[in-house]
Amino acid sequence: MTEPAISVRNLTKRFGGKTVVDDVTLTVARGEIAGFLGPNGSGKTTTIRLMCGLLQPDAGRGRVLGHDILRERGAIKRKVGYMTQKFSFYEDLTIEENLAFVAGLYQMPARRQVVAETLRDLGLQSRRGQLAGSLSGGWKQRLALAACVMHKPELLMLDEPTAGVDPKARRDFWDEIHRLASDGLTVLVSTHYMDEAERCHRINYISYGRLVAQGTVAEVVRNAGLTTLVMSGAATDRAARLLEGAEGVDQIAPFGNTLHVVGRDAAALRRSVERIAQQTGTEVAAADTSLEDVFIQLMQGAEDNMA
Ligand code: ADP
């Protein structure tokens, strides 16, 4: 069996007195697109930096691309492409000039050829002469991706690469990620968009520095053990008020003219919902639990733990 691209155990990082990454154990197989999900400030960026050799953990160990994360950070950095949340370029240089600059910075051999190949592979050829400062968000992001795959990394770490990019550009970006993965690249991508989580082979959900769910989307949804009921009818507003605090009801969320009601205790949830449905003359139907329902539940659970 080939060694996983990432295999880290019990990673912990503290800043001041605060534990920002707390005992994180994570494995990412070669060629996998692994999603890294979690609310802002939950420790995603810090974990990524620990894994790509930019930060030293306070505890824990592991290997990335066959190298020890404590002792071989230089080797890891050379094999990883890291796209930070706020990627930057020279706005007064063209796409091609920006890439040539990066290639020079890393002293890549055959720079001209590498830049030409990158422009072609990332679909940037038609805009090679355009100033980076005049590009839309989606094109800027494509340029950032080009800059971090130019040295042919084996692993891409993308930190919220699609924040603030429109839906069409996000979709194109994900198509590109899948293309790179099918060429053998391993990708770890952090996001808080639900639809993007669903485009990953596996997801890892982190909250307050702790990994609280891992697996395929289907596994994460199944393991959460939630039941979801949908109420519809004219009086869903009143039903929502009555459901507040009712036994078995963990979440209440309006979706258009319907109400999604979610809970861990299926029997108690059903009793409460059916009682209130009768009082308000609303209809009840069973529904599939969504990944979003699960994430909200995980976030609520983590807040309770912190309190
Ligand atoms: P995320 O990427 O999930 O938004 P981060 O890893 O950026 O989370 O941050 C987790 C927590 O660690 C935040 O509370 C943040 O303020 C804190 N933090 C991150 N980097 C540093 C640092 N260099 N010094 C002190 N605190 C930090």
For ligand 1, which residues put their CB under 6 angstroms from it?
A: 15, 20, 38, 40-46
Beta-sheet strands, E only, within 73-226: 80-83, 155-159, 186-191, 202-207, 210-215
Domain extents for the chain? 6-221, 227-288
At 305 the pLDDT is: 55
Instruction: Tell me how far the alpha carbon of residue 20 lies from the centroid of ligand 1, in angstroms.
Output: 7
Instruction: Tell me how far the alpha carbon of residue 19 lies from the centroid of ligand 1, in angstroms.
Output: 10
Helices (H), 122-187: 137-149, 167-182
Residue nearest to atom 19 of ligand 1 (CA): 46
At 86 the pLDDT is: 77
Instruction: Tell me how far the alpha carbon of residue 227 lies from the centroid of ligand 1, in angstroms.
Output: 34
Dump pLDDT digits (tens) for 214-224.
Answer: 999 999 999 99
At 265 the pLDDT is: 97
For domain 227-288, say whether CATH 3.30.70.100 is its number. yes
Q: Write b or e for each residue in 164-193: b if 16 or more Cβ atoms lie within 10 A of its Cβ, otherwise e.
A: ebeeebbbbbbebbeebbeeebbbbbbbbb
At 2 the pLDDT is: 82
Cβ–Cβ under 8 Å, residues 149 and 157: no
Looking at every residue in the chain, the average pLDDT score rounds to: 93
> Which of 13, 18, 20, 207 has most ligand 1 atoms within 8 Å of CB, for mutation?
20
**Closest ligand 1 atom to 46 CA:** 6
The ranges of the chain with pLDDT < 70 are: 1, 302-307
Instruction: Tell me how far the alpha carbon of residue 15 lies from the centroid of ligand 1, in angstroms.
Output: 8
Between the alpha carbon of residue 70 and those of residues 22, 59, 88, 191, 305, the distances in Å are 17, 10, 28, 26, 31
At 195 the pLDDT is: 86
Residue nearest to atom 6 of ligand 1 (CA): 43
> Which of 11, 13, 15, 188 has most ligand 1 atoms within 8 Å of CB, for mutation?
15
**Closest ligand 1 atom to 160 CA:** 2
Q: What is 6-221's CATH superfamily? A: P-loop containing nucleotide triphosphate hydrolases (3.40.50.300)
pTM: 0.90
